[in-house]
């Protein structure tokens, strides 16, 4: 077993280089199978979710090589639409993108219901609604979703919920469907635009990604391409919040500042200085008690739900009482129990957490409940005086490349320790 051991209290100074976006990579990598020839994908983050996804592609018959750090070359010419089993999907929610790709390319797909972080119910009804609108027959037997269609035909689909996954999956299934598909009430996250740009690099005809209406004109064939994935908005936001929480002067490099606007604005509400450059943001903070504020998570361009645990951790030492409203997921406050072990004063009532600032968090042994909650525990350890250990860090490895190296380089006292489980 492994854990992080953190001795908190150090200010952070220096530069952190951001890796490619996990949630873009997890859609783009399976989408490369449409080419049936080589695609070269650059700026791929070296994280366990990407390794899990490449294992699934190899199982389907794709050739996936990693000629250099951050680069995958994928050749889908020998891919077959095999069933993606529960053993593979339980580790990776994004496995459901294989439904859209295999249905779109082969007219058939069988993918076990997905796993991933647990924040309450995580349905896929909108994905299925989109596939059926395109003419597919979709059934679920033994927890495997089966989708088949002789010929997908364009349609207009109104998503009842703004869903990143459903928007991307319907886009994937529609990319070769005859005619013009329109997705309305689409999600607008940067990784959706990245997927559309990647598919268009392969010869697709997708317009409007990044707005709530996406139009996809089906094409006959898609070809190989070379593509570089956008920087990870959430990784960048996590380190911005870490710098704000402990104090210092940190340049977060290789970012698209526009993707970080909602996080920047919220940090400025708390009294933190954020200076935007072309491809970086600089966070300057005294690290003393941030101003209390109100945060509500909404789909992009609002405040990202994937930044909620990290930001709530920053607010644990705010001056006054802050409010955090989680409006995307049913139950994303499980991590609060871990923060309470460190002395946080948080009351959770339904979708709202009331955080009354305390002077200091106290070091303690805590666990990562999920990927972003784990990142929040790291921030809490950096904030607290003394030694904090964070367990279950394999969940953090899913989405953060070289976290220890990146934080150590700017002055954090954090190490990865192996220990025997009792």
* String of contacts with ligand EPZ for each residue 135-164, x by CB under 6 A: --------------------------x-xx
94 binds ligand EPZ (CB under 6 A): yes
User: Which listed range, 22-30, 55-63, 146-154, 261-269, lies at the site for ligand EPZ (CB under 6 A)?
Assistant: 22-30
Tell me the closest approach of the beta carbon of residue 197 to ligand EPZ, in angstroms. Answer: 16
Please, what sign has the CA dihedral across residues 258, 93, 374, 71?
A: negative
Residues 299-324 as b or e (16 or more Cβ within 10 Å = b): bbeebbbbbbbbbbbbbbbbeeebeb
376/339 Cα distance (integer angstroms): 9
Among 28, 102, 124, 353, interactor with ligand EPZ by CB under 6 A: 124
Is 102 or 219 the residue whose CB approaches ligand EPZ more closely? 102
129/112 Cα distance (integer angstroms): 17
User: Which listed range, 120-128, 176-184, 288-296, 313-321, lies at the site for ligand EPZ (CB under 6 A)?
Assistant: 120-128
Give whole-number Cα distances, 383 to 165, 267, 309, in Å: 34, 16, 14
Among 127, 259, 266, 289, interactor with ligand EPZ by CB under 6 A: 127
275 forms beta bridges with 282
Is 31 or 292 the residue whose CB approaches ligand EPZ more closely? 31
Give whole-number Cα distances, 26 to 226, 296, 399, in Å: 16, 26, 11
Among 135, 165, 237, 381, interactor with ligand EPZ by CB under 6 A: 165
Is 97 or 364 the residue whose CB approaches ligand EPZ more closely? 97
And the tokens for 159?
Answer: 């998503």
Residue carrying the six token digits 């290789």: 254
Q: Which of 256, 282, 245, 254 is nearest to 14 (CA)?
A: 282
User: Is the bond preceding 301 in cis, omega lying within 30 degrees of 0?
Assistant: yes
329 binds ligand EPZ (CB under 6 A): yes
Among 12, 47, 98, 166, interactor with ligand EPZ by CB under 6 A: 166
Tell me the closest approach of the beta carbon of residue 23 to ligand EPZ, in angstroms. Answer: 4
56 binds ligand EPZ (CB under 6 A): no
Is 125 or 277 the residue whose CB approaches ligand EPZ more closely? 125
146/187 Cα distance (integer angstroms): 25
And the tokens for 341?
Answer: 């072990």
The residues near 422 (Cβ < 8 Å, ≥ 6 apart) are none
Is 52 or 321 the residue whose CB approaches ligand EPZ more closely? 52
Q: Among all residues, which ones are annotated catalytic? A: 117
89 binds ligand EPZ (CB under 6 A): no
Among 122, 282, 296, 341, interactor with ligand EPZ by CB under 6 A: 122
Our CA dihedral for 302, 308, 314, 320, rounded to 10 degrees, sits at 80
Shortest Cβ contact with ligand EPZ: which residue?
A: 165
Instruction: Pick out residues in 347-406 that bind ligand EPZ (CB under 6 A).
Output: 371-372, 399
Tell me the closest approach of the beta carbon of residue 226 to ligand EPZ, in angstroms. Answer: 23
At 30 the three-state DSSP class reads: helix
Tell me the closest approach of the beta carbon of residue 257 to ligand EPZ, in angstroms. Answer: 20
User: Which listed range, 20-28, 33-41, 212-220, 288-296, lies at the site for ligand EPZ (CB under 6 A)?
Assistant: 20-28
Is 20 or 247 the residue whose CB approaches ligand EPZ more closely? 20
H-helix or E-strand containing 367? strand 365-367
**What is the C-alpha radius of gyration for the chain, rounded to an integer number of angstroms?**
21
Name the residues that contact ligand EPZ, by CB under 6 A.
22-23, 26, 93-94, 117, 121-127, 161, 163-166, 187, 305-306, 328-329, 371-372, 399
């Amino acid at each position: 077993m492994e854990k992080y051991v953190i001795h908190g209290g150090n200010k952070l100074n220096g530069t952190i280089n951001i890796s490619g976006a996990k949630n873009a990579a997890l859609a783009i990598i399976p989408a490369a199978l449409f080419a049936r020839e080589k695609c070269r994908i650059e700026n791929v983050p070296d994280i366990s979710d990407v390794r899990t996804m490449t294992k699934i592609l190899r199982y389907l018959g794709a050739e996936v090589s990693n000629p250099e750090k951050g680069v995958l070359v994928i050749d889908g010419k020998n891919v077959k639409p095999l069933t993606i089993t529960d053993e593979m999907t339980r580790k990776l929610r994004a496995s459901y993108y294989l439904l859209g790709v295999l249905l779109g390319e082969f007219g058939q797909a069988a993918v076990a219901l997905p796993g991933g972080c647990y924040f309450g119910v995580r349905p896929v009804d909108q994905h299925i609604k989109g596939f059926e609108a395109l003419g597919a027959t979709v059934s679920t037997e033994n927890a495997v979703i089966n989708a088949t269609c002789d010929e997908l035909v364009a349609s207009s689909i109104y998503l009842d919920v703004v869903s990143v996954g459903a928007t991307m999956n319907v886009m994937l299934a529609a990319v070769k469907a005859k005619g013009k598909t329109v997705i309305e009430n689409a999600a607008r996250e940067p990784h959706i635009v990245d997927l559309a740009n990647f598919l268009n690099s392969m010869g697709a005809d997708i317009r409007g990604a990044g707005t709530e209406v996406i139009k996809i004109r089906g094409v006959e064939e898609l070809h190989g391409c070379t593509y570089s994935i956008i920087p990870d908005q959430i990784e960048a936001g996590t380190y911005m919040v870490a710098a704000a929480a402990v104090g210092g002067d940190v340049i977060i490099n290789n970012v698209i500042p526009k993707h970080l606007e909602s996080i920047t604005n919220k940090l400025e509400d708390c009294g933190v200085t954020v200076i935007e450059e072309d491809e970086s943001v600089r966070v300057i903070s005294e690290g003393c008690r941030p101003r209390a504020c109100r945060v509500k998570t909404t789909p992009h361009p609002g405040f990202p739900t994937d930044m909620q645990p990290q930001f709530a951790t920053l607010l644990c030492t705010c001056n006054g009482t802050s409010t955090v409203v989680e409006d995307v997921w049913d139950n994303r406050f499980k991590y609060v129990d871990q923060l309470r072990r460190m002395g946080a004063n948080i009351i959770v009532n339904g979708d709202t957490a009331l955080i009354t600032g305390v002077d200091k968090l106290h070091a303690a042994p805590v666990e990562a409940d999920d990927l972003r909650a784990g990142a929040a525990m790291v921030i809490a350890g950096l904030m607290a005086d003394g030694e904090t250990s964070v367990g279950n860090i394999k969940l953090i490895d899913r989405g953060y490349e070289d976290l220890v190296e990146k934080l150590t380089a700017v002055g954090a006292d954090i190490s990865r320790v192996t220990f025997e489980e009792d």
